[in-house]
Amino acid sequence: MTTELSLNTITTKAWTLGQCIEACARHGIPGISPWRDVLQAMGVQAAAKHIRDAGLKVTGLCRGGMFPAADAAGRAAAIEDNRRAIAEAHAIGAACLVVLGGGLPKGSKDLPGAREMMREGLHAILPDARAAGVTLALEPLHPMTCADRSVLSTLGQALDLCEELGAGTGVAVDVYHVWWDPDLARQMARAKGRIAGFHVCDWKVPTTDLVFDRGLPGEGVIDIPAIRAMAEASGWTGGVEVEILSNHWWAQDPETVIREVKARRAYC
Amino acid sequence: MTTELSLNTITTKAWTLGQCIEACARHGIPGISPWRDVLQAMGVQAAAKHIRDAGLKVTGLCRGGMFPAADAAGRAAAIEDNRRAIAEAHAIGAACLVVLGGGLPKGSKDLPGAREMMREGLHAILPDARAAGVTLALEPLHPMTCADRSVLSTLGQALDLCEELGAGTGVAVDVYHVWWDPDLARQMARAKGRIAGFHVCDWKVPTTDLVFDRGLPGEGVIDIPAIRAMAEASGWTGGVEVEILSNHWWAQDPETVIREVKARRAYC
């Protein structure tokens, strides 16, 4: 059985959403996961129609969350923005809204406080997500992003939040963010029925940038099939979403990147 | 009460061990923690005498471990090298030998296998460490170093190993490596009586290199005093060892770096 692919639009960042949709159709890639900037550039309703007409499955919308902020107005603005993201996810029929933790507020060293802001933000938007039928897919990011992108650092922490929040929540597992975790096998088993997204890319050796140096599957040291097997043992059937943030690959023709992704399916 | 400082010699990498010892005496820094390269360059016996004459406490020897290797000969060589490191630590009266996990063997994606090699290596050298009275201080490194430096990634994982190995083992806590851990408070409490080293530096925002961009205490976002309080609640009384791997600070006059370190004691 061939694993179903989904194209996360950041992988082909030079393209508009329209170009990404056409490329998926042209290359027989059945899924797509847009970022909000390209979605909004196309217009949410127009995008919803194009994606539907192309017969694509929307494996997620990137991204909500990012709740911690230095003041109450900033936190309220983040919550409002997440409500818009939920509406957008609903409009395009996305399987989930990918939710990031966000980093420390500027100037802050209060990590427990930032985690509490994340928790409060999630509680605030949960009723909206439930009403819209949009799953909030909590995505732990690699601990190296803790200061500026994600105070949600481990799968165990994400699952603790899922248990607290209940229906309408799940986890997005990106192999890049979790592969190192000595507790991974246990947490992946614990995630049974909770996996709402499965993202792939690879960890290059050496890695020269903390955010924008990911590899295509097979370029690095992550045993992706082993982690996918854990996901499938926990009920995941949604294939793999390819999300490559990479200055190197962004400098190539996106058509080349798509062909490379397809050629590397065996590494997923 | 002023926290006692110890100078990890990598902080002043341009200096010989002799210069580091003199600087500690000159600046009233009561502790030192040499790396093996500068120790061997001076000669172990000569260094032992100089350190003793200067009245310095040796808070650790950096570093042993690094057990995973692609073949049996490589693993045996690592074990032999660790036996030499234990002898060196004993000779200079070091409070511990800092032990790193090591990364994946070249070309390998087998992370569980590498962790098993680490475990086997620790079991192999434990009798030597016990005979010499040298504590093996297992130091988890930040998960971003998992591929090429340390398959020992969390404090919880290090404490699991301590429990398995028993007497003669402990943990080295470096705030840079553990600050992000959502399970930190619980693991620091669990570390009671097991902390054999406490290292400080800071996480800069942005961080531009995965290994060599650490900040001096106060330059970044780590709440060092909060983590030190956890260590002290778990029985740690050994002060703080300043270990700064930084291309920026290595380009400065080491005398300036020492003065900066002393001026930043309030951030520790």
Domain boundary assignment for chain B: 5-267
Report how many Cβ contacts below 8 Å link chain A to chain B: 83
- Tell me the residues of chain B between 156 and 185 that have a Cβ less than 8 Å away from chain A: 156-157, 179-183
Query: Which of B45, B43, B14, B52 lies closest to B32 in space, CA to CA?
Result: B52
B110 contacts in A (CB within 8 Å)? 223
* Token pair 């986890």: residue: A171
Sign of the alpha-carbon torsion through A72, A128, A88, A214: positive
Helical pair B111-132 and B155-165, crossing angle rounded to 10 deg: 50
Per-residue pLDDT at A132 exceeds 60: yes
What does the alpha-carbon distance between residue A114 and residue A99 come to, in Å, rounded to a whole number? 15
| Mean pLDDT across B239-261 | 98
| Mean pLDDT across A33-45 | 98
CB A30 within 8 A of CB A13: no
Q: What is the pLDDT of residue B2?
A: 52
Q: What is the pLDDT of residue B131?
A: 98
What does the alpha-carbon distance between residue A138 and residue A34 come to, in Å, rounded to a whole number? 17
Contacts of B216 (CB under 8 A, 6+ apart): B201, B202, B242, B244, B249, B257, B260, B261, B264
CA B94 to chain centre: 12
Share of chain B above pLDDT 70, in %: 99
Q: In degrees to the nearest 10, what's the CA dihedral of A212, A213, A216, A219?
A: -170
Contacts of B45 (CB under 8 A, 6+ apart): B91
Nearest-by-CA chain B residue for A115: B182
Query: Per-residue pLDDT tens for A66-125?
Result: 999 999 999 999 999 999 999 999 999 999 999 999 999 999 999 999 999 999 999 999
Per-residue pLDDT at B1 exceeds 70: no
Nearest-by-CA chain A residue for B178: A143
Inform me whether the C-beta atom of residue B91 falls under 8 Å from chain A C-beta atoms: no
Per-residue pLDDT at A53 exceeds 60: yes
Q: Are B147 and A221 an interchain contact pair (Cβ–Cβ within 8 Å)?
A: yes
Structural fold of domain B5-267 = TIM Barrel (3.20.20)
| Mean pLDDT across B12-18 | 98
What does the alpha-carbon distance between residue A93 and residue B268 come to, in Å, rounded to a whole number? 50
Query: Per-residue pLDDT tens for B141-180?
Result: 999 999 999 999 999 999 999 999 999 999 999 999 999 9
Please give the class, per CATH, of domain A5-263: alpha beta
Both structure tokens of A82: 């997440």
Average pLDDT value for chain B: 97
* Residue B85 burial (CB count, 10 A): 26
Inform me whether the C-beta atom of residue B223 falls under 8 Å from chain A C-beta atoms: yes
Q: What is the pLDDT of residue A3?
A: 67
Q: What is the pLDDT of residue B151?
A: 98
Query: Per-residue pLDDT tens for A152-188?
Result: 999 999 999 999 999 999 999 999 999 999 999 999 9
Both structure tokens of B110: 């087998």
Q: Are B143 and A180 an interchain contact pair (Cβ–Cβ within 8 Å)?
A: yes
Looking only at the bridges linking them, the beta strands covering B195-200 and B240-242 are parallel
Q: Are A223 and B179 an interchain contact pair (Cβ–Cβ within 8 Å)?
A: no
Average pLDDT value for chain A: 97
Contacts of A66 (CB under 8 A, 6+ apart): A78, A100, A101, A102
| Mean pLDDT across A17-38 | 98
Both structure tokens of A207: 């890695």
What secondary structure, in 3-state letters, does chain A show?
Answer: CCCCEEEEHHHHCCCCHHHHHHHHHHHCCCEEECEHHHHHHHCHHHHHHHHHHCCCEECCEEEEECCCCCCHHHHHHHHHHHHHHHHHHHHCCCCEEEEECECCCCCCCCHHHHHHHHHHHHHHHHHHHHHHCCEEEECCCCHHHCCCCECCCCHHHHHHHHHHHCCCEEEEEEHHHHCCCCCHHHHHHHCCCCEEEEEECECCCCCCCCCCECECCCCCCCCHHHHHHHHHHCCCCCCEEECCCEHHHHCCCHHHHHHHHHHCHHHC
Q: What is the pLDDT of residue A1?
A: 41
Per-residue pLDDT at B3 exceeds 70: no
Query: Which of B137, B233, B225 lies closest to B179 in space, CA to CA?
Result: B225
